Amino acid sequence: MTANRVHQVMDAAHRFVRSHPALKRALRPLAHLATPSLLSFRAGHISRRAYKRWIARHETITPADAAAMRADIARFPARPLLSVVMATYETPEPYLRAAIASLQAQLYAEWELCVADDHSSAPHVGRILDEIAATDPRVRVVHRPERGHISAASNSALALARGEWVVLMDHDDLLPPNALYELAAEIAAHPEARILYTDEDKIDDHGRRYSPYFKPDFDPDLLLGQNLLNHLTAYRRDLVQTLGGFREGFEGAQDHDLALRATVACGPGAVRHIPRILYHWRQQTGRRSFSESAMTRCVAMARRAIADHLAARGIAADLHPAGSLYHRIVFPLPEPAPLVSIVIPTPNQADRLRTCLDGVLNRTDYPAIEVLVTGTDPDTVALPKNMESDPRLRIIRSPNPSTPAQITNHAAAEARGDILLLLDSHIEIIAEDWLREIVSHAIRPEIGAVGCRLLHPDGRLRHGGTALGIGDIGAPLLAGARRADHGPFGVLNLLRSTGAVTTACLALRRTVWQQVGGMDATNLPTAFNDVDLCLKIRQHGLRIVWTPFAELYHHENAAPDGPGRAAPLRHEADAMAARWGDALLNDPYYSPNHAAKAADCTLADQPRRARRYRTGPTGNPQA
């Protein structure tokens, strides 16, 4: 069964379930077992019950695991001192004691705790800190004589640090016992790293963990939209000192501000992501944290930090809200706007082509386009004669017979624009500013290709970027999500990097197209050439981004199944696997903790992440 046919069946099942409310209610407890387009009511949602089971299977450290980690630590070429930086203020006694106890329980012992109390009025805070410092020489405390707020207090704690690395920890949160071990192991494996960050979850007053954030590898655009690094983050101390530490005036987003400045200073290649839950953020307690109680201020400070970051880089972009918590950056277009060559390969469906062309030519506000309608069928190619008087429209007849890849390559060679936009003839324009948004990213020198949000006609998500390694080659992320669904941690509302995007709507600079040699019409004449194109672009050090701020309807061409179609698809899938290997299996933007059977952000039965330490068949550590 082809992907088109699978979507047809899923569409029918989705409509059936939606039309029967009683059935929808009955199936709700099974939503975590099903595909998002059929049963999901919040795309990518992970229930507390499912996460609890996953923790028991994959996040429980046994005595054998602990022994193996200690044996691994003994093999480290060096054991750097990790300075954990903490600011306290009116911290409830149980939370403060629990936070420090979680640090003292670390399997990696080469750490120091640097605490600055920000002139707490509650006497127990200073008493507890002095008491613990008197019994544990790794704990160093400074009592500030006046209140300075979080940035000033964090800088006071930072001034106590002696380690090569500083690790940021809030005064009421918890670390699992392997947190510092994982940081130290990453430092040993990647001595070039200057910033480390990890996955995180939340924990309530009853010790129940929930809402895991399984993050992608470092993505500069996602960091603009949200504080991707957040918890747990470690920095080389000399990097933080060079930057002057935390900036006062950014309280509530001081950590986001530091992340923006530090990642630019060291470059993306020095930022490493550890795909493990190594931080438990205390939430849903009787005492609300600053970020909970002053959320509006925190968001405003984050936008100030982002605006300052863009200005420092000389980027005259506009900053807008993306929902209540996240941020959208509108990058400027140059004057004059670059010419965009829109390449539309045509199947034999005249009504769809008319709709597509009408939207492109008459309902798009971008000022500089040429449209290249291309194909091998003279009747189809000649179809839009009533539009041929438009000087922006050109007909490109390809040699017959030609494969889809050959047709696209032939038309691209005729393009005059600085930007190529590959567009399926089954696309329908929704809003007139779609092309401005896409081109604003395609012209950025670090970006190799751009995709956008493609919707089914009923408004459900068709394409949210391609997660690689799903099925044979890849699958669209969170396909079937409702239009209003923001996805886990805003993933469907944020500009972000992705493994690949579909050529149903893909924009790139013509120079990039020429650099990678266009589509592989020899080995991939009909399928997977979009993923191959994106992987070739990424191989040249450029990123693929997906924007939700350009939306299009995609009336998918449902190609018929048949015995003559399966063999070419299998052959091309095999060609892709042989060419790209691990690049298909290790998508940096789709967590190894997420399921690989579907790109739905559910929990993986077996996470695809390497374990740093080794245990024998009996569970005993191996040297």
Mark whether 271 and 167 lie in a shared domain: yes
The domain boundary, picked from 272, 295, 312, lies at: 312
How far apart (Å, rounded) are the C-alpha atoms in residues 141 and 132? Answer: 10
Whether the per-residue pLDDT at 489 is higher than 60: the answer is: yes
User: What are the distances in angstroms from CA 446 to CA 333, 443, 541, 542, 566?
Assistant: 15, 9, 8, 5, 37
Q: Tell whether 153 is covered by a domain.
A: yes
- Which of 17-21, 28-32, 130-134, 544-548 has the least mean pLDDT? 28-32
Helix (H) or strand (E) holding 65: helix 63-75
Tell me the per-residue pLDDT of 141-187, one tens digit each, with 9 for 90 and over: 999 999 999 999 999 999 999 999 999 999 999 999 999 999 999 99
Identify whether residues 396 and 285 lie together within a single domain: no
* 252 and 293 housed in the same domain: yes
* Burial zone of 263 (CB within 10 Å; 0-12 exposed, 13-18 middle, 19+ buried): buried
Mention every residue, 6+ apart, whose C-beta is less than 8 A from residue 539. 516
Please choose, from the candidates 593, 467, 618, the residue with its C-alpha nearest in 3D space to the C-alpha of residue 534.
467
Q: Averaged over 305-320, what is the pLDDT?
A: 94
Whole-number Å distance between alpha carbons of 555 and 546: 20
- Mean pLDDT of the 421-430 span: 96
In a domain, 227, yes or no: yes
Q: Are 267 and 192 in contact (CB under 8 A)?
A: no
Residue 157 lies in a domain: yes
What's 296-334 look like in SS3? HHHHHHHHHHHHHHHHHCCCCCEEEEECCCEEEEECCCC
CA 168 to chain centre: 22
Q: Is residue 31, in this structure, part of any structural domain at all?
A: no
Residues 498 and 540 in one domain: yes
Is the predicted pLDDT of residue 320 greater than 50, yes or no?
Answer: yes
With residue 539 as reference, give the H or E element that holds it: helix 529-539
**For residue 441, what are the domain limits?**
340-557+564-585
Which tokens hold the place of 501? 């995007």
- With both helix axes pointing from N to C terminus, report the angle between 149-158 and 254-266 in degrees, rounded to the nearest 10: 50
Is 30 within the bounds of a domain?
no
Q: How much is the average pLDDT of 450-473?
A: 94
Residue 19 or 188, more confident: 188
* Same domain, yes or no: 171 and 295: yes
Q: In angstroms, rounded to a whole number, what is the distance separating the alpha carbons of residues 196 and 234?
A: 5
Q: Is 97 in the same domain as 218?
A: yes
**What letter represents residue 157's amino acid?**
A
292 pLDDT above the threshold of 90: no
Q: Are residues 465 and 352 in the same domain?
A: yes
137 and 247 both lie in a single domain: yes
pLDDT at residue 618, as a whole number = 41
Please indicate, yes or no, whether residues 397 and 493 belong to a single structural domain of this protein.
yes
Domain containing residue 357: CATH number: 3.90.550.10
End-to-end CA distance of the chain: 48
Task: For residue 277, list its beta bridge partners.
Answer: 199
Q: Are residues 575 and 508 in the same domain?
A: yes
How many C-beta atoms lie closer than 10 Å to residue 316's C-beta? 8
Least-confidence region, from 180-194, 236-250, 494-508, 559-573 = 559-573
The tally of domains found in the chain comes to 2
User: Quick one: which H or E segment has residue 272?
Assistant: strand 271-282
Q: Is the pLDDT of residue 521 over 90?
A: yes
**Number of residues assigned to the chain:** 623
pTM for the whole structure: 0.88
546 domain residue, yes or no: yes
Q: Tell me the per-residue pLDDT of 33-69, one tens digit each, with 9 for 90 and over.
A: 333 333 334 778 999 999 999 999 999 999 999 999 9
Residue 126's H or E segment, with its range, is helix 123-135
- pLDDT of 16 reads 57
Same domain, yes or no, for 353 and 299? no
Query: Does residue 220 share a domain with residue 106?
Result: yes
Determine, yes or no, domain membership for 110.
yes
Q: What number is the average pLDDT over the span 503-530? A: 95
Domain assignment present for residue 333? The answer is no
176/55 Cα distance (integer angstroms): 12
